[in-house]
Amino acid sequence: MSDLHYTLPQAAYTDPDVFAADLEHVFARHWTFAGHSCELGPGDWFRIALGRDQAIVVRDLDGTLRAHHDVCAHRGSRVTTAERGTAKAFVCPYHQWVYGLDGCLRSARLMGDQFTTAGVRLAPVAVRETAGLVFVCPAATPDEAPEFDGFADAAARHLGPHGLEQARIVARDHYRVAANWKTLVENNRECYHCRGSHPEFSLSNFEQGTHGDVRLNPRYDAALAEARARWAARGLATDEVSFPGGSWYRFTRLPLREGFTTETLDGGLVAPVMGTLPDPDVGSLRVVGLPNLWAHANADYAMTTRLTPVDTGTTDVEVCFLVDVDAQLDDGDVDALAAVWRATSEQDWALCEATYAGVASRGYRPGPLSPVVEASVASFLDWYELLSRRGSAA
């Protein structure tokens, strides 16, 4: 009997009941990446839709980060009418109930003498931020939020020096991809396909470095050892945090190919060095937050990718490019900065759509994963199945 791991049965990708269970057990009951701290100055808010749930994430005027269900306490209307904004209060568009940024009802017209606003509020949602990344857990209230400290510690040590809290988003690309969300994560978890599909990415990146990739490449091993010695000497964390104990996150700083200081087409910086990084020689910090985040943080820019599942065969993707808040960039600079990841992302969506079309067809059977280069796909599926089992046992 082979001990190879296989992709999941077709229903895991195409059955609406499985999709509904995924939203519940993997997204709503787990920390899900929502956005960036730098989008949320005092009074700023954005919303994130996760299946039937929609959360408003907002920074109160005193700096407190909060999240609320986007559901009016009167008759249940959505309160927001835009994706994002800046507000002193939220006014429901239906009958104009007014909520403070803390979610508490401030006023409600024509409700009679018996009614009091005391204790009436938008239902609170668990929210956390660390190293400039914001997560929500829509099924939890702030008091019952799942454990976050392990992730927060790793993020602070590895991503903290990139200063994403003080960053600015210079490009925000939206895609609607015709594939199940797990197809996108599986694709992200291996670089088996990189050489054949990602010419721009492969200019600056070694194929090695994906969690569980056991290919030997003496040039990569030497570059990694030398880079880690340089980084450690300048105070950067160089340990590999790779889904510790089967958990949901990864932070690993990896070297870029010789001649490349950042992930641009020519390897040159486009923007100033970010945060408190000591100098541009920081390689590329790879970040994964299952189920819906991956990011690369370079010296001069960071790219974050956020998945939000729409239905079994549809996933919305938001790719953001962040630079130092004071960076002066024109449109040409932004295009140069985003060139590698725009090309790479769009190549990936095409791969995922072609894969999902096959997975959804009569001809699909679960296929074997390579133990040489796809162990991280297997780990993701193990993590997913554990959450799914826990959910169905609950």
Interface contacts to ligand FES, rule CB under 6 A: 72, 74-75, 77, 92, 94-95, 97
105 binds, among Fe ion, ligand FES, none (CB under 5 to 8 A by kind): none
Our CB check for ligand FES shows the closer of 74 and 193 to be 74
d(CA 140, CA 148): 13
74 binds, among Fe ion, ligand FES, none (CB under 5 to 8 A by kind): ligand FES
Question: Which residues partner with 300 through β-bridges?
Answer: none
77 binds, among Fe ion, ligand FES, none (CB under 5 to 8 A by kind): ligand FES
348 binds, among Fe ion, ligand FES, none (CB under 5 to 8 A by kind): Fe ion
Our CB check for Fe ion shows the closer of 151 and 341 to be 341
**What DSSP state is assigned to residue 180?**
-
> Whole-number minimum distance, CB 171 to Fe ion, in Å?
19
Our CB check for ligand FES shows the closer of 97 and 380 to be 97
Token code pair at residue 16? 């609406």
Those residues whose C-beta lies under 8 Å from the C-beta of residue 361, and which sit 6 or more positions away, are: none
> Whole-number minimum distance, CB 347 to Fe ion, in Å?
6
**Helix or strand holding residue 339 (H, E):** helix 331-359
Q: Is 235 left (phi over 0), alpha (psi -120 to 50) or beta?
A: left
Please list every residue from 340 through 359 that binds Fe ion, using CB under 5 A.
348
Our CB check for ligand FES shows the closer of 77 and 242 to be 77
> Whole-number minimum distance, CB 172 to Fe ion, in Å?
20
CB 209 within 8 A of CB 286: yes
d(CA 345, CA 367): 24
Distance of CA 106 to the CA centre of its chain: 34
CB 340 within 8 A of CB 265: yes
Our CB check for ligand FES shows the closer of 92 and 271 to be 92
Give the residues lining the site for Fe ion (CB under 5 A).
348
